[in-house]
Amino acid sequence: MKRYSYILLIFTIGVVGFASSCSKDEVKEQTDNATFYPRIFNDVYLFPEYKDSVYIMKAGDTLAFRGLQFSPGDKVQVAWSVNDTPAGDGKEYFFVPQEGGDFRIKVEASYDGMSTSRYRDVFVIPSSFTPKPYNHVVMAYASDTAQYKYLDFSKMTHLAYKVATVTAAGTMDVSKGEIYKKSDVLIGKAHVNGVPVLLGISGTLSGDGWSVYASSNFGNALVDIAKRTALVAAIKEYVTAKKMDGVEILMTDINNTTGAQTNANIQAAGLFLNELRASLGADAIITITVPGIQYAGSYPDLSAANWINVHAYEDGLHVGPGKPLGQPSGYDYFVDCAETWMAKYPKNKLVIGIPAFGLRYTALDGNGNNLGWTSYNYMPYKQILAADATASGKEYAEIAEGVYFNGIPLVTEKSNYLKEQGYLGAYIWAGEYDVTTEQSLTATIHNILQ
Protein backbone atom coordinates (compact mmCIF):
# COMPACT_ATOMS: atom_id res chain seq x y z
CA MET A 1 0.00 0.00 0.00
CA LYS A 2 2.84 2.36 0.79
CA ARG A 3 4.33 1.75 -2.63
CA TYR A 4 1.10 2.69 -4.32
CA SER A 5 0.85 5.76 -2.10
CA TYR A 6 4.31 6.95 -3.14
CA ILE A 7 3.47 6.39 -6.78
CA LEU A 8 0.22 8.35 -6.38
CA LEU A 9 2.04 11.16 -4.56
CA ILE A 10 4.69 11.39 -7.26
CA PHE A 11 2.01 11.39 -9.95
CA THR A 12 0.03 14.09 -8.13
CA ILE A 13 3.08 16.29 -7.68
CA GLY A 14 3.90 15.86 -11.34
CA VAL A 15 0.41 16.81 -12.41
CA VAL A 16 0.36 19.83 -10.10
CA GLY A 17 3.80 20.87 -11.28
CA PHE A 18 2.73 20.53 -14.89
CA ALA A 19 -0.47 22.47 -14.20
CA SER A 20 1.47 25.13 -12.32
CA SER A 21 3.92 25.46 -15.17
CA CYS A 22 1.07 25.77 -17.65
CA SER A 23 -0.64 28.36 -15.43
CA LYS A 24 2.49 30.50 -15.17
CA ASP A 25 3.07 30.31 -18.90
CA GLU A 26 -0.54 31.23 -19.58
CA VAL A 27 -0.47 34.20 -17.17
CA LYS A 28 2.78 35.40 -18.71
CA GLU A 29 1.31 35.06 -22.17
CA GLN A 30 -1.85 36.89 -21.15
CA THR A 31 0.20 39.59 -19.44
CA ASP A 32 2.38 40.03 -22.48
CA ASN A 33 -0.65 40.28 -24.73
CA ALA A 34 -2.85 42.36 -22.38
CA THR A 35 -3.77 45.98 -23.10
CA PHE A 36 -3.24 48.18 -20.03
CA TYR A 37 -4.89 51.57 -20.36
CA PRO A 38 -3.23 54.24 -18.20
CA ARG A 39 -5.51 55.61 -15.53
CA ILE A 40 -5.58 58.57 -13.13
CA PHE A 41 -7.13 58.24 -9.66
CA ASN A 42 -8.08 60.60 -6.80
CA ASP A 43 -8.75 63.38 -9.29
CA VAL A 44 -12.32 64.45 -8.52
CA TYR A 45 -11.38 67.51 -6.45
CA LEU A 46 -8.52 68.66 -8.64
CA PHE A 47 -10.29 67.87 -11.90
CA PRO A 48 -14.08 68.20 -11.45
CA GLU A 49 -16.22 66.51 -14.07
CA TYR A 50 -18.44 69.52 -14.81
CA LYS A 51 -16.85 71.64 -17.52
CA ASP A 52 -17.90 75.04 -16.17
CA SER A 53 -15.83 74.59 -13.02
CA VAL A 54 -13.16 77.29 -13.00
CA TYR A 55 -10.70 77.64 -10.14
CA ILE A 56 -10.19 81.25 -9.06
CA MET A 57 -6.84 82.38 -7.66
CA LYS A 58 -4.64 85.45 -7.44
CA ALA A 59 -1.36 86.02 -9.23
CA GLY A 60 1.50 84.77 -7.06
CA ASP A 61 -0.61 82.18 -5.20
CA THR A 62 -0.02 78.42 -5.54
CA LEU A 63 -2.38 75.73 -6.78
CA ALA A 64 -0.98 72.31 -5.84
CA PHE A 65 -1.79 69.25 -7.93
CA ARG A 66 -0.79 66.35 -5.71
CA GLY A 67 -2.22 63.22 -4.17
CA LEU A 68 -2.93 61.72 -7.59
CA GLN A 69 -2.33 58.04 -8.30
CA PHE A 70 -1.50 56.58 -11.68
CA SER A 71 -1.83 53.10 -13.17
CA PRO A 72 -0.03 50.94 -14.13
CA GLY A 73 2.18 51.83 -11.18
CA ASP A 74 5.63 53.18 -11.91
CA LYS A 75 5.40 52.30 -15.59
CA VAL A 76 3.22 55.26 -16.55
CA GLN A 77 4.78 58.46 -17.90
CA VAL A 78 3.27 61.71 -16.61
CA ALA A 79 3.37 65.06 -18.42
CA TRP A 80 1.94 68.44 -17.36
CA SER A 81 1.14 71.40 -19.58
CA VAL A 82 -0.20 74.94 -19.15
CA ASN A 83 -2.16 76.26 -22.13
CA ASP A 84 -0.60 73.44 -24.20
CA THR A 85 2.95 74.45 -23.22
CA PRO A 86 4.97 71.69 -21.45
CA ALA A 87 5.30 72.49 -17.75
CA GLY A 88 6.58 69.36 -15.95
CA ASP A 89 6.85 65.58 -15.89
CA GLY A 90 6.47 64.52 -12.26
CA LYS A 91 3.47 63.04 -10.48
CA GLU A 92 2.97 66.37 -8.71
CA TYR A 93 2.72 69.86 -10.15
CA PHE A 94 2.57 73.30 -8.53
CA PHE A 95 1.00 76.10 -10.58
CA VAL A 96 2.32 79.52 -9.49
CA PRO A 97 1.13 82.15 -12.00
CA GLN A 98 2.78 85.55 -12.08
CA GLU A 99 0.20 87.27 -14.27
CA GLY A 100 -3.55 87.31 -14.69
CA GLY A 101 -5.60 85.52 -17.32
CA ASP A 102 -7.21 82.23 -18.29
CA PHE A 103 -5.18 79.04 -18.00
CA ARG A 104 -5.81 75.35 -18.64
CA ILE A 105 -3.72 72.98 -16.52
CA LYS A 106 -3.54 69.53 -18.11
CA VAL A 107 -2.01 66.26 -16.91
CA GLU A 108 -1.49 63.36 -19.29
CA ALA A 109 -0.61 59.79 -18.30
CA SER A 110 0.93 57.62 -21.03
CA TYR A 111 1.83 53.93 -21.24
CA ASP A 112 2.66 51.67 -24.15
CA GLY A 113 1.48 54.14 -26.79
CA MET A 114 -1.80 54.97 -25.06
CA SER A 115 -2.72 57.96 -22.91
CA THR A 116 -5.43 59.49 -20.77
CA SER A 117 -5.70 63.05 -19.50
CA ARG A 118 -7.49 65.46 -17.16
CA TYR A 119 -7.62 69.26 -17.19
CA ARG A 120 -8.59 72.12 -14.89
CA ASP A 121 -9.47 75.61 -16.06
CA VAL A 122 -8.09 78.39 -13.89
CA PHE A 123 -8.67 82.12 -13.88
CA VAL A 124 -5.92 84.20 -12.30
CA ILE A 125 -6.80 87.63 -10.94
CA PRO A 126 -4.00 90.02 -11.94
CA SER A 127 -2.16 92.01 -9.30
CA SER A 128 -1.98 95.03 -11.62
CA PHE A 129 -2.98 96.07 -15.12
CA THR A 130 -2.43 98.75 -17.75
CA PRO A 131 -5.57 100.61 -18.89
CA LYS A 132 -6.00 100.56 -22.64
CA PRO A 133 -5.92 103.89 -24.50
CA TYR A 134 -9.16 105.43 -25.77
CA ASN A 135 -10.41 108.45 -27.67
CA HIS A 136 -13.86 108.62 -26.08
CA VAL A 137 -15.39 106.96 -23.05
CA VAL A 138 -17.58 103.93 -23.75
CA MET A 139 -18.72 102.81 -20.32
CA ALA A 140 -20.89 99.75 -19.84
CA TYR A 141 -22.89 99.38 -16.67
CA ALA A 142 -23.12 95.89 -15.20
CA SER A 143 -25.85 95.22 -12.66
CA ASP A 144 -25.35 93.11 -9.54
CA THR A 145 -26.79 90.09 -11.39
CA ALA A 146 -24.42 90.39 -14.37
CA GLN A 147 -22.01 87.64 -15.42
CA TYR A 148 -18.77 88.45 -17.20
CA LYS A 149 -19.48 86.05 -20.08
CA TYR A 150 -22.26 88.38 -21.27
CA LEU A 151 -19.93 91.38 -21.48
CA ASP A 152 -17.64 92.22 -24.40
CA PHE A 153 -14.66 93.92 -22.78
CA SER A 154 -13.11 94.68 -26.16
CA LYS A 155 -15.97 97.10 -26.90
CA MET A 156 -15.78 99.21 -23.75
CA THR A 157 -13.24 101.54 -22.18
CA HIS A 158 -14.67 101.45 -18.63
CA LEU A 159 -17.00 99.27 -16.61
CA ALA A 160 -19.28 100.45 -13.80
CA TYR A 161 -20.11 97.41 -11.69
CA LYS A 162 -23.30 98.28 -9.79
CA VAL A 163 -22.75 95.76 -7.02
CA ALA A 164 -23.22 98.12 -4.05
CA THR A 165 -26.70 98.92 -2.75
CA VAL A 166 -27.42 101.23 0.17
CA THR A 167 -29.80 99.60 2.63
CA ALA A 168 -32.55 101.15 4.73
CA ALA A 169 -30.04 101.22 7.60
CA GLY A 170 -27.70 103.34 5.49
CA THR A 171 -25.04 100.64 5.12
CA MET A 172 -23.52 99.26 1.92
CA ASP A 173 -24.58 95.77 0.80
CA VAL A 174 -22.17 94.08 -1.65
CA SER A 175 -23.16 90.50 -0.87
CA LYS A 176 -24.28 89.61 -4.41
CA GLY A 177 -20.73 90.12 -5.62
CA GLU A 178 -19.34 87.64 -3.10
CA ILE A 179 -21.29 84.65 -4.44
CA TYR A 180 -18.74 82.34 -6.11
CA LYS A 181 -16.27 85.27 -6.02
CA LYS A 182 -18.28 86.93 -8.78
CA SER A 183 -16.96 90.43 -8.15
CA ASP A 184 -13.34 89.23 -8.06
CA VAL A 185 -13.76 87.43 -11.37
CA LEU A 186 -15.58 90.27 -13.11
CA ILE A 187 -13.02 92.84 -11.96
CA GLY A 188 -10.18 90.51 -12.92
CA LYS A 189 -11.63 89.82 -16.37
CA ALA A 190 -11.99 93.54 -17.01
CA HIS A 191 -8.44 94.28 -15.86
CA VAL A 192 -6.96 91.50 -18.00
CA ASN A 193 -8.60 93.29 -20.94
CA GLY A 194 -7.28 96.71 -19.89
CA VAL A 195 -10.66 98.00 -18.66
CA PRO A 196 -10.82 100.05 -15.42
CA VAL A 197 -13.69 99.10 -13.08
CA LEU A 198 -15.72 101.54 -11.00
CA LEU A 199 -17.78 100.53 -7.99
CA GLY A 200 -21.35 101.47 -8.85
CA ILE A 201 -23.36 102.38 -5.75
CA SER A 202 -27.08 103.18 -5.65
CA GLY A 203 -30.25 102.87 -3.66
CA THR A 204 -33.15 100.69 -4.81
CA LEU A 205 -33.46 100.62 -8.60
CA SER A 206 -36.23 99.64 -10.99
CA GLY A 207 -35.79 97.54 -14.13
CA ASP A 208 -34.57 100.51 -16.15
CA GLY A 209 -31.71 101.19 -13.75
CA TRP A 210 -33.35 104.28 -12.30
CA SER A 211 -35.24 105.21 -9.16
CA VAL A 212 -38.21 103.57 -7.51
CA TYR A 213 -40.79 106.20 -6.56
CA ALA A 214 -40.48 107.47 -2.98
CA SER A 215 -37.43 105.28 -2.31
CA SER A 216 -34.77 107.22 -0.42
CA ASN A 217 -32.38 104.77 1.24
CA PHE A 218 -29.35 106.26 -0.49
CA GLY A 219 -30.52 109.84 -0.12
CA ASN A 220 -31.28 109.42 3.59
CA ALA A 221 -27.82 107.98 4.20
CA LEU A 222 -26.15 110.87 2.40
CA VAL A 223 -28.12 113.51 4.28
CA ASP A 224 -27.07 111.96 7.61
CA ILE A 225 -23.48 113.14 8.21
CA ALA A 226 -22.48 110.13 10.32
CA LYS A 227 -23.89 107.62 7.83
CA ARG A 228 -22.35 109.47 4.89
CA THR A 229 -18.95 109.40 6.58
CA ALA A 230 -19.33 105.68 7.27
CA LEU A 231 -20.28 105.05 3.63
CA VAL A 232 -17.17 106.86 2.40
CA ALA A 233 -15.00 104.72 4.69
CA ALA A 234 -16.73 101.48 3.62
CA ILE A 235 -16.35 102.35 -0.05
CA LYS A 236 -12.66 103.12 0.34
CA GLU A 237 -12.08 99.82 2.14
CA TYR A 238 -13.97 97.82 -0.49
CA VAL A 239 -12.42 99.55 -3.51
CA THR A 240 -8.94 99.07 -2.06
CA ALA A 241 -9.50 95.39 -1.22
CA LYS A 242 -10.94 94.61 -4.66
CA LYS A 243 -8.33 96.68 -6.53
CA MET A 244 -11.07 98.70 -8.21
CA ASP A 245 -10.28 101.94 -9.98
CA GLY A 246 -12.89 104.31 -8.61
CA VAL A 247 -16.57 104.89 -7.89
CA GLU A 248 -19.69 105.66 -9.91
CA ILE A 249 -22.36 107.43 -7.84
CA LEU A 250 -25.83 106.45 -9.06
CA MET A 251 -27.90 108.53 -6.65
CA THR A 252 -31.38 108.27 -8.15
CA ASP A 253 -33.40 109.03 -5.01
CA ILE A 254 -34.95 112.13 -6.56
CA ASN A 255 -38.57 110.99 -7.03
CA ASN A 256 -39.74 111.68 -3.52
CA THR A 257 -43.08 112.79 -2.17
CA THR A 258 -41.71 116.19 -1.13
CA GLY A 259 -39.51 118.59 -3.05
CA ALA A 260 -37.59 119.40 0.12
CA GLN A 261 -36.43 115.80 0.50
CA THR A 262 -35.46 115.57 -3.17
CA ASN A 263 -33.43 118.76 -2.93
CA ALA A 264 -31.75 117.62 0.29
CA ASN A 265 -30.71 114.35 -1.38
CA ILE A 266 -29.31 116.19 -4.40
CA GLN A 267 -27.27 118.59 -2.26
CA ALA A 268 -25.94 115.71 -0.15
CA ALA A 269 -24.84 113.88 -3.31
CA GLY A 270 -22.52 116.80 -4.04
CA LEU A 271 -21.03 116.59 -0.54
CA PHE A 272 -20.62 112.84 -0.94
CA LEU A 273 -18.75 113.34 -4.22
CA ASN A 274 -16.34 115.82 -2.62
CA GLU A 275 -15.72 113.59 0.39
CA LEU A 276 -15.06 110.57 -1.81
CA ARG A 277 -12.53 112.58 -3.79
CA ALA A 278 -10.76 113.64 -0.61
CA SER A 279 -10.71 110.05 0.65
CA LEU A 280 -9.75 108.21 -2.56
CA GLY A 281 -7.34 110.79 -3.92
CA ALA A 282 -6.71 112.42 -7.26
CA ASP A 283 -5.86 109.18 -9.10
CA ALA A 284 -9.26 107.55 -8.50
CA ILE A 285 -11.87 107.74 -11.25
CA ILE A 286 -15.04 109.14 -9.69
CA THR A 287 -18.19 109.77 -11.72
CA ILE A 288 -21.76 110.70 -10.89
CA THR A 289 -24.98 110.06 -12.81
CA VAL A 290 -27.56 112.83 -13.06
CA PRO A 291 -31.12 113.04 -14.48
CA GLY A 292 -31.52 114.19 -18.06
CA ILE A 293 -33.42 117.46 -17.68
CA GLN A 294 -35.48 117.53 -14.50
CA TYR A 295 -33.62 118.92 -11.47
CA ALA A 296 -30.57 119.80 -13.58
CA GLY A 297 -30.64 123.30 -12.12
CA SER A 298 -30.74 121.99 -8.55
CA TYR A 299 -27.39 120.22 -8.50
CA PRO A 300 -24.41 121.72 -6.67
CA ASP A 301 -20.94 121.93 -8.18
CA LEU A 302 -19.92 118.49 -9.49
CA SER A 303 -16.51 119.43 -10.84
CA ALA A 304 -14.79 116.98 -8.45
CA ALA A 305 -16.01 114.18 -10.73
CA ASN A 306 -13.83 112.99 -13.60
CA TRP A 307 -16.96 113.11 -15.70
CA ILE A 308 -20.74 113.34 -15.35
CA ASN A 309 -23.05 110.64 -16.71
CA VAL A 310 -26.31 112.05 -18.08
CA HIS A 311 -29.38 109.80 -17.91
CA ALA A 312 -30.60 110.78 -21.39
CA TYR A 313 -33.36 108.21 -21.85
CA GLU A 314 -36.82 107.46 -20.42
CA ASP A 315 -38.56 110.81 -20.94
CA GLY A 316 -41.48 109.82 -18.67
CA LEU A 317 -44.12 110.81 -21.23
CA HIS A 318 -45.23 107.30 -22.13
CA VAL A 319 -45.79 105.59 -18.77
CA GLY A 320 -48.65 105.94 -16.32
CA PRO A 321 -52.44 105.64 -16.71
CA GLY A 322 -53.77 106.80 -20.08
CA LYS A 323 -50.37 107.81 -21.43
CA PRO A 324 -49.88 107.40 -25.20
CA LEU A 325 -47.65 104.61 -26.45
CA GLY A 326 -44.36 105.74 -27.92
CA GLN A 327 -40.57 105.91 -27.96
CA PRO A 328 -39.39 107.09 -24.51
CA SER A 329 -35.72 107.28 -25.47
CA GLY A 330 -35.69 109.03 -28.81
CA TYR A 331 -33.03 111.13 -30.50
CA ASP A 332 -34.56 114.53 -29.70
CA TYR A 333 -34.81 113.81 -25.98
CA PHE A 334 -31.23 112.52 -26.04
CA VAL A 335 -29.98 115.77 -27.56
CA ASP A 336 -32.08 117.91 -25.20
CA CYS A 337 -30.55 116.15 -22.18
CA ALA A 338 -27.01 116.51 -23.50
CA GLU A 339 -27.47 120.21 -24.24
CA THR A 340 -29.08 120.86 -20.86
CA TRP A 341 -25.92 119.70 -19.09
CA MET A 342 -23.63 121.17 -21.74
CA ALA A 343 -24.88 124.56 -20.57
CA LYS A 344 -23.40 123.78 -17.13
CA TYR A 345 -20.22 121.80 -17.95
CA PRO A 346 -17.80 121.40 -20.88
CA LYS A 347 -18.72 118.71 -23.40
CA ASN A 348 -15.52 116.84 -22.65
CA LYS A 349 -16.79 116.26 -19.12
CA LEU A 350 -20.12 114.72 -20.18
CA VAL A 351 -20.91 111.06 -20.93
CA ILE A 352 -24.44 110.60 -22.29
CA GLY A 353 -26.55 107.51 -21.57
CA ILE A 354 -28.08 105.07 -24.08
CA PRO A 355 -30.47 102.25 -23.08
CA ALA A 356 -30.01 98.57 -23.96
CA PHE A 357 -33.61 97.77 -23.08
CA GLY A 358 -37.08 98.57 -24.33
CA LEU A 359 -40.34 99.81 -22.85
CA ARG A 360 -42.86 96.96 -23.20
CA TYR A 361 -46.60 97.49 -22.80
CA THR A 362 -48.65 94.60 -21.43
CA ALA A 363 -52.19 96.06 -21.29
CA LEU A 364 -53.98 98.98 -22.96
CA ASP A 365 -57.09 100.97 -22.12
CA GLY A 366 -60.10 101.44 -24.39
CA ASN A 367 -58.36 104.27 -26.25
CA GLY A 368 -55.30 102.21 -27.05
CA ASN A 369 -53.16 103.97 -24.46
CA ASN A 370 -51.22 102.52 -21.55
CA LEU A 371 -53.65 101.11 -19.00
CA GLY A 372 -51.94 101.95 -15.69
CA TRP A 373 -48.83 101.88 -13.51
CA THR A 374 -48.51 98.09 -13.68
CA SER A 375 -49.23 97.60 -17.39
CA TYR A 376 -45.69 98.08 -18.65
CA ASN A 377 -42.21 96.77 -17.89
CA TYR A 378 -38.70 96.75 -19.30
CA MET A 379 -37.33 94.20 -21.76
CA PRO A 380 -33.57 93.68 -22.28
CA TYR A 381 -32.38 94.22 -25.85
CA LYS A 382 -31.13 90.63 -26.10
CA GLN A 383 -34.60 89.34 -25.24
CA ILE A 384 -36.11 91.59 -27.89
CA LEU A 385 -33.72 90.08 -30.44
CA ALA A 386 -34.63 86.59 -29.27
CA ALA A 387 -38.29 87.36 -29.97
CA ASP A 388 -37.65 89.25 -33.22
CA ALA A 389 -34.44 88.45 -35.08
CA THR A 390 -34.77 91.60 -37.22
CA ALA A 391 -35.23 93.98 -34.28
CA SER A 392 -31.69 95.38 -34.39
CA GLY A 393 -32.67 97.48 -37.39
CA LYS A 394 -35.82 98.90 -35.81
CA GLU A 395 -37.16 100.89 -32.85
CA TYR A 396 -40.43 99.02 -32.39
CA ALA A 397 -41.40 95.35 -32.23
CA GLU A 398 -44.83 93.75 -31.97
CA ILE A 399 -44.19 91.94 -28.71
CA ALA A 400 -47.02 91.84 -26.15
CA GLU A 401 -48.82 95.17 -26.71
CA GLY A 402 -45.70 96.62 -28.31
CA VAL A 403 -42.13 97.38 -27.23
CA TYR A 404 -40.16 100.55 -28.03
CA PHE A 405 -36.36 100.45 -27.87
CA ASN A 406 -33.10 101.70 -29.38
CA GLY A 407 -31.90 99.63 -32.33
CA ILE A 408 -28.66 100.05 -34.26
CA PRO A 409 -29.89 102.90 -36.53
CA LEU A 410 -30.94 105.08 -33.57
CA VAL A 411 -27.82 104.23 -31.55
CA THR A 412 -25.71 105.06 -34.61
CA GLU A 413 -27.41 108.45 -34.90
CA LYS A 414 -26.84 109.21 -31.22
CA SER A 415 -23.20 108.09 -31.32
CA ASN A 416 -22.47 110.20 -34.40
CA TYR A 417 -23.95 113.23 -32.62
CA LEU A 418 -21.66 112.71 -29.61
CA LYS A 419 -18.58 112.37 -31.78
CA GLU A 420 -19.37 115.32 -34.03
CA GLN A 421 -20.23 117.59 -31.11
CA GLY A 422 -17.15 116.67 -29.08
CA TYR A 423 -18.73 115.01 -26.03
CA LEU A 424 -16.53 112.80 -23.87
CA GLY A 425 -18.51 109.67 -24.68
CA ALA A 426 -21.47 107.41 -23.93
CA TYR A 427 -22.56 104.88 -21.35
CA ILE A 428 -25.00 102.01 -21.77
CA TRP A 429 -27.42 100.49 -19.28
CA ALA A 430 -26.86 97.68 -19.00
CA GLY A 431 -23.99 95.83 -20.62
CA GLU A 432 -25.43 92.39 -19.93
CA TYR A 433 -28.71 93.40 -21.60
CA ASP A 434 -26.81 93.69 -24.88
CA VAL A 435 -25.53 90.94 -27.18
CA THR A 436 -21.94 90.27 -28.22
CA THR A 437 -22.71 89.60 -31.90
CA GLU A 438 -22.75 91.95 -34.89
CA GLN A 439 -26.10 93.23 -33.55
CA SER A 440 -24.44 94.67 -30.44
CA LEU A 441 -25.35 98.20 -29.38
CA THR A 442 -22.19 98.57 -27.29
CA ALA A 443 -20.06 97.59 -30.27
CA THR A 444 -21.93 100.10 -32.44
CA ILE A 445 -21.13 102.90 -29.98
CA HIS A 446 -17.51 101.79 -29.63
CA ASN A 447 -16.89 101.47 -33.35
CA ILE A 448 -18.10 105.03 -33.95
CA LEU A 449 -16.49 106.76 -30.97
CA GLN A 450 -13.13 105.01 -31.13
CATH number, domain at 314? 3.20.20.80
424 to 208, 308, 419: CA distances (angstroms): 23, 10, 8
- 228 within 8 A of 264, measured Cβ to Cβ: no
* Domain co-membership, 91 together with 230: no
- Domain presence at residue 364: yes
- Domain presence at residue 270: yes
* Domain co-membership, 112 together with 244: no
Listed residues 65, 95, 125: the one ending a domain? 125
- Domain presence at residue 90: yes
Listed residues 125, 154, 183: the one ending a domain? 125
**What span, in angstroms and rounded, lies between the C-alpha atoms of 277 and 62?**
36
* Domain co-membership, 99 together with 67: yes
* Domain co-membership, 81 together with 194: no
- Domain presence at residue 63: yes
* Domain co-membership, 117 together with 160: no
- Domain presence at residue 32: no
pLDDT digits (tens, 9 = 90+) for 104-141: 999 999 999 999 999 999 999 999 999 999 999 999 99
- Domain presence at residue 12: no
Q: How far apart are the first and last CA of the chain?
A: 110
* Domain co-membership, 63 together with 152: no
Task: Check residue 25 and give its pLDDT.
Answer: 53
* Domain co-membership, 76 together with 141: no
Peptide bond connecting 430 to the previous residue in cis, omega within 30 degrees of 0: yes
- 311 within 8 A of 290, measured Cβ to Cβ: yes
Task: Check residue 257 and give its pLDDT.
Answer: 67
Here the CATH number for the domain that contains residue 111 is 2.60.40.10
Q: Which residues contact 256 (CB under 8 A, 6 or more apart)?
A: 214, 216, 219, 262, 265
**What span, in angstroms and rounded, lies between the C-alpha atoms of 186 and 391?**
29
Domain span including residue 54: 39-125
Low-confidence ranges of the chain (pLDDT < 50): 1-24, 26-31
* Domain co-membership, 84 together with 221: no
* Domain co-membership, 57 together with 171: no
Q: How many distinct structural domains can be found in the chain?
A: 2
* Domain co-membership, 170 together with 210: yes
- 183 within 8 A of 190, measured Cβ to Cβ: no
